[in-house]
Amino acid sequence: MPGLGNLWRASAAETYTAQPLRGERMVDLAIIGAGFTGLSAALHAAGQGADVAVLEAETVGEGGSGRNVGLVNAGLWLPPDDVCKILGPGPGEHLNAVLAEAPSLVFDLIAQHGIACEATRNGTLHLAHAPKAMADLQSRHAQLAARGAPVRLIDMNSTAQRTGTDRFYGALHDARAGTIQPLSYARGLARAAHDAGALICEQTPVTAAEHRSGQWIITTPGGKLRARHLLIATNAYHRPVTHVSRPDVPIVEYFQLATAPIGDNLAGDILAGGEGCWDTGLVMTSVRRDGAGRVILGGMGGDVTVHANWARRKLTQLFPRLSGVEIQHAWAGRIAMTHDHLPRIQRMGPGALAIFGYSGRGIGPGTVFGRAAALALLSGDHSGLPVPVVESHAEQFVTLKSLYYETGARLVHAVADRG
């Protein structure tokens, strides 16, 4: 199983390649990181007529955007009431409202730019992994319904019919959400941004960024950018940049495995409605299918070798008829997890912002945060940003927390594997 590779790279219908930055250029907006956030920012800034350049150290979607589960969710892990408790009622409800519309922006962009990313908007299922977990889903349902969200609770029998397994005790269905092929979506955003006039540069790591004489001087191995504004959109894949200090954030790793394509005779009842799923477990598990009929199982943890036995066992527990089915792909990615699970927008200097900490919700939030940040930087008006800008951010015990998450996942999976 280890070393089988990332399904999204093997199956992406969208292709996109770009050359490294060479020479010097002046732009209105420089963006570091070609993931959902940076590419959405580039697309929307270019759409406003701005001169934009995106600098990516590897390739488009190389980071979390190309390793994502592919669930286009509305909102965060946190229930909306908790968001308001942390941010306050006004800013909290603003963030809730922005993220409630995030799936619509994603699917609208897909339709507008003809992005071939297996877009399916049939909702998602938040699954109760234990009987007591239904109380959490009931609370979330009440909070979301009070805000007008099209959500409904599903009992255990109906959940079994929708998922094809009787291992869950109910579910919360959110009709706003859906699934995509995440790497294809990222590449499609890059193509659309390029078509709108943005310069996309791959294999272009940024070594230094310094504000001098009213502009940002951004240095790469092959050239320099001079920019009026700067957006750092590297999230969990940030690399050190001289003169710019973005705070470290605890990292959670998440792995996935995918079966071979499975026909309806064997797996036709597994998520037949096309929903994507994740459960309420503290060490979360996700399940979905792709356009070719593969079953894709995900779980917390970064070492695919270590977690492989649990993953294979879990897949068989959920769907006994898949025992012995070939596993064709296995891969992992990193998640930037803030202590309160809320994203941050931090001021990095004059006309510069950094966005980080989606805590596992990269597609919808990344798309809307990127758009909002680009428009705020170009206009100078930050009032429409999803969260207030902070001047600094600090996380305690970053390395220990990252180790804690991985160790916890290993222990839970080891116990489950012996069970």
Tokens of 9: 């790279």
> Angle, to 10 degrees, between the axis of helix 89-100 and the axis of helix 80-87?
140
Q: Indicate the pLDDT class of residue 58, thresholds 50, 70 and 90.
A: very high
- What is the arithmetic mean of pLDDT over 280-299? 94
| Model pTM score | 0.96
For the cut 80, the answer to whether the pLDDT of residue 307 exceeds it is: no
What letters, b where the CB count within 10 A reaches 16 and e where it falls short, cover 231-262?
Answer: bbbbbbbbeebeebebbebbbbbbbbbbbebb
Residue 37's pLDDT is 98
Cβ-Cβ contacts under 8 Å for 362 (sequence gap 6 or more)? 35, 36, 37, 64, 65, 68, 235, 335
- What is the arithmetic mean of pLDDT over 386-412? 78
Residue 90's pLDDT is 97
Residue 301's pLDDT is 82
Query: What does each C-alpha distance from 37 to 97, 195, 264, 286, 311 come to in angstroms?
Result: 18, 18, 36, 23, 30
Residue 235's pLDDT is 95
Tens digits of residue pLDDT in 239-264: 999 999 998 999 999 999 999 999 98
Q: What is the dihedral of CA 140, 141, 142, 144, to 10 degrees?
A: 80
Catalogue all structural domains in the chain, each as residue range(s) with its CATH number.
7-418 (3.50.50.60)
Tens digits of residue pLDDT in 150-178: 999 999 999 999 999 999 999 999 999 99
Residue 205's pLDDT is 98
Q: Indicate the pLDDT class of residue 1, thresholds 50, 70 and 90.
A: very low
Tokens of 73: 């969710």
- What is the arithmetic mean of pLDDT over 278-300? 94
201 sits in the region (left: phi over 0; alpha: psi -120 to 50; else beta) called: beta
Q: What percent of the chain stands above pLDDT 70?
A: 95
SS3 content of the chain, % helix, strand, coil (to 5): 35, 25, 40
Under 8 Å between Cβ of 260 and 328: yes
Tens digits of residue pLDDT in 340-360: 999 999 999 999 999 999 998
Tokens of 22: 């060479």
Q: What percent of the chain stands above pLDDT 90?
A: 86
Please give the Cα distance from 342 to 104 (Å, whole number): 21
Residue 233's pLDDT is 98
Residue 282's pLDDT is 83
Under 8 Å between Cβ of 76 and 359: yes
Hey, which residues does 127 pair with through a beta bridge? Answer: 171, 279
For the cut 70, the answer to whether the pLDDT of residue 81 exceeds it is: yes
For the cut 50, the answer to whether the pLDDT of residue 32 exceeds it is: yes
